Amino acid sequence: MQNYLDGQQELWYKMGRVNVKNISRIFTKKEENSGTEALHDVSFDVEDGEFICLLGPSGCGKTTLLRIIAGLETQSSGEITLNGTPITGPDPKRGMVFQQYSLFPWRTVIDNVTFGLEMQGIDKAEARKRVEKYIELVGLEQFKNSYPYELSGGMQQRAAIARALANEPEVLLMDEPFGALDAQTRNILQDELLKIWEQKHVTFIFVTHSVDEAVVLSDRIVMMTARPGRIKEIVKVDLPRPRSRTSPEVNHLRDHVLRLLEEERFHR
Amino acid sequence: MKNRFIKTIEENGIEALSLIVAIAIWQLVADRIVQDRFLLPSFYDVVTSFFAIVKSGLVFADTLTSLLHFAIGIIAAFAIGIPLGIIMGWFREANRAIDPIIEILRPIPPLAWIPFAIVWFGLTQQAAGFIVFAGMVFPIIINTYTGFKNVPKVYVEAAKVLGCTRNLDLIRYIAIPSAMPSIVAGIRIAMGVGWMCLVAAEMFAVSDSGLGYQIWHNYYLHRMNFVLVYMLLLGFVGLFIDRFFRHYVDAKLLRWTAGTVV
């Protein structure tokens, strides 16, 4: 019976199509009448199961855009839909991994990962059983009863990924999740993330300021301009995985993306 | 067994020696130099007086009375201080409404409430409990509030995207655990203040028994050896309460901060 149910779960097909339509965001300050425009008329579509990177110079509004998709912030105009339904607020269908360490320090790793299921009203013991596989997926079996302060930065972000996945989201939003990690840990986690992406049928939207990261990870790179953020170019990365970090094709692409970024620097 | 005893002595040798020397000096000064039991009772006087009140059972009755006063105060301070701090910390408007009142009441020394405590409650246990409450409630409110103000935004946002969106759930699952170290620190400060208020309240005739009352009562009788016994008792009971609380808190509530806070 248990196996049958598990099988059902795997068969259940998740859709994760995101449509971003004419999104603008203006931050207004109370004292002044003028506002800062962070995003200007941004539109793009994300296919189901696609791995998208948002890349742009710092302050271009890529994080703001991701937070609007998460429902943590609101747009000034435009609309974002997930499978056709407009996004109005946070929802467990859209998981998020933050740049800062966001594990709840008062909960052990396994209790962090079960948090989402608990909020859905699932019994704690039952939820614990269900999340085991996600903890295994990120390789933290040995640390499941540890508290976050006992983990390294890389392990904390792994646990945060497991916590977001445990809710079985349709889209996984990642806001520079490896930004605070050292280069080696970063490479390892990128490879692991790709494995997870291949195993689970989840759409990934990944914000980064690292060209290397975008080139290694994504199906398409959404390049943004300096503030106010607009779409500069959508670069298709048509390279087979696993990608070498130094092959001529990857270098060529990196070169192209870097040149686009540099243009933005001189525009200012 | 004997080995363990010797080991304990070896490990805490300096501490034990220091205490023994202090007691020896006290005994010598009182017995040989001052030679006046009224001005300075000796260690021996204090020990015999202590056994006298143990024998008469008085010590237990008074300790229990004091603990009862303390319990009344601490329960009331918890029941009012923690919810108030939570509401002020979570809802900005509530803070704006409540804060001015608190800022006016807070600087009033708790002992200034003694006349009203007697008028309102009479010479009852509740009157002494009220003074303890007056001393304890403000540190609890303020630390709960501060803890709530300092809940990192990222925890609240992480909870929201995981499906925890109602205020009540966010308070229960995120804000309270995150603020717990601050709340606990407030409770410890409050317990120190409350213990002082308790003694003062009992001395000022809000009560007709209790450890603080006995200090004053024995002073009237010029039995300074008993005054000193009750003083030491107050110190030991206060120390015991604080240790017990800290042990409980570290083991249960703040296990997750182990290593980050010494």
> Do B15 and B59 belong to one domain?
no
B150, B154, B161: best mutation site toward chain A, by most A Cβ within 10 Å?
Answer: B161
Q: What is the pLDDT of residues A242-255, one digit of tens each?
A: 888 888 999 999 99
Q: Which residues, 6 or more positions from A16, have their beta carbon under 8 angstroms from its beta carbon? A: A46, A48, A49, A82, A83, A169, A170, A171, A202, A203
CB-CB neighbours of B47 under 10 Å: 12
Q: What is the dihedral of CA A64, A29, A90, A16, to 10 degrees?
A: -30
> Do B19 and B52 belong to one domain?
no
> Do B56 and B177 belong to one domain?
yes
Asked if the model's pLDDT at residue A200 lies above 50, the reply is yes
Residue B260 is predicted with a pLDDT of: 47
CB-based contact B207:B201 (threshold 8 Å): yes
CB-CB under 8 Å, A71 with B257: no
Rounded Cα distance between A135 and A103, Å, is 14
Rounded Cα distance between A112 and B158, Å, is 11
CB-CB under 8 Å, A147 with B163: no
Q: What is the pLDDT of residues A16-63, one digit of tens each?
A: 899 999 999 998 876 666 788 899 999 999 999 999 999 988 888 899
Asked if the model's pLDDT at residue A207 lies above 50, the reply is yes
Fold of the A12-93+169-267 domain: Rossmann fold (3.40.50)
> Do B130 and B214 belong to one domain?
yes
Measured in residues, chain B has a length of 262
* B108 found inside a domain: yes
Rounded Cα distance between B56 and B40, Å, is 24
Rounded Cα distance between A103 and A223, Å, is 30
CB-CB under 8 Å, B160 with A116: no
> What's the mean pLDDT in A1-13?
45
Rounded Cα distance between A210 and A171, Å, is 21
Burial class of A264 by CB neighbour count within 10 A (0 to 12, 13 to 18, 19+): middle
Residues forming a β-bridge with A35:
A28
* B234 found inside a domain: yes
> What's the mean pLDDT in A129-156?
92
Distance of CA A82 to the CA centre of its chain: 15
* B136 found inside a domain: yes
Residue A97 is predicted with a pLDDT of: 96
Residue B156 is predicted with a pLDDT of: 96
B160, B162, B164: best mutation site toward chain A, by most A Cβ within 10 Å?
Answer: B162
Rounded Cα distance between B251 and B262, Å, is 13
For the four alpha carbons of A162, B162, A112 and A14, in that order, the dihedral sign comes to negative
Asked if the model's pLDDT at residue A236 lies above 60, the reply is yes
> Alpha carbon of A131 to those of A49, A110, A160, A193, B68: distances in Å?
22, 8, 13, 18, 47
- pTM across the whole model: 0.85
Those of residues 68-97 in A touching chain B at CB distance below 8 A are 70-72, 89-92, 94-96
Q: Is the ipTM above a cut-off of 0.85? A: yes
Is B169's Cβ below 8 Å from some Cβ in A? yes
Q: Which domain holds residue B31?
A: 1-35
Tokens of A262: 């540099």
Q: What is the pLDDT of residues A170-182, one digit of tens each?
A: 999 999 999 889 9
Rounded Cα distance between A232 and A242, Å, is 27
> Do B17 and B118 belong to one domain?
no
* B256 found inside a domain: no
> Do B9 and B113 belong to one domain?
no
* B175 found inside a domain: yes
Rounded Cα distance between B58 and B66, Å, is 12
Cis before A148? omega within 30: no
Residue B251 is predicted with a pLDDT of: 81
CB-CB under 8 Å, B159 with A92: no
Q: What are the counts of helices (DSSP H) followed by strands (DSSP E) for chain A?
A: 8, 10
Residue A45 is predicted with a pLDDT of: 94
Min Cα separation A251/chain B (Å): 36
CB-CB under 8 Å, A91 with B256: no
> Do B76 and B2 belong to one domain?
no
Rounded Cα distance between A83 and A96, Å, is 18
* B259 found inside a domain: no
Query: Reduced to 3 states, what is the DSSP secondary structure of residue B85?
Result: helix
Residue A98 per-residue DSSP state = -
Structurally, chain B folds into a number of domains equal to 2
pLDDT digit string (tens) for chain B, length 262 residues: 567 777 777 778 888 899 999 999 999 999 889 888 889 999 999 999 999 999 998 899 999 999 999 999 999 999 999 999 999 999 999 999 999 999 999 999 999 999 999 999 988 889 999 999 999 999 999 999 999 999 999 999 999 999 999 999 999 999 999 999 999 999 999 999 999 999 889 987 677 889 999 999 999 999 999 999 999 999 999 999 999 998 888 887 888 886 544 3
> Do B53 and B22 belong to one domain?
no
Rounded Cα distance between B209 and B123, Å, is 10
A88, A99, A100, A102: best mutation site toward chain B, by most B Cβ within 10 Å?
Answer: A102
In chain A, residues with a C-beta closer than 8 Å to the C-beta of B257 are 105, 149
Nearest to B211 by CA among B194, B226, B222, B221: B226
Confidence of residue A10 (pLDDT cuts 50, 70, 90): very low
In chain A, residues with a C-beta closer than 8 Å to the C-beta of B180 are 106
Residue B24 is predicted with a pLDDT of: 94
> Do B75 and B151 belong to one domain?
yes
> Do B62 and B182 belong to one domain?
yes
Q: DSSP secondary structure string, A23-86? A: EEEEEEPSS-S-EEEEEEEEEEEE-TT-EEEEE-STTSSHHHHHHHHHTSS--SEEEEEETTEE
Q: Give the domain CATH number at B114.
A: 1.10.3720.10
Distance of CA B141 to the CA centre of its chain: 16
Confidence of residue A9 (pLDDT cuts 50, 70, 90): very low
Lowest mean pLDDT across A68-82, A135-149, A195-209, B244-258: B244-258
Is A100's Cβ below 8 Å from some Cβ in B? yes
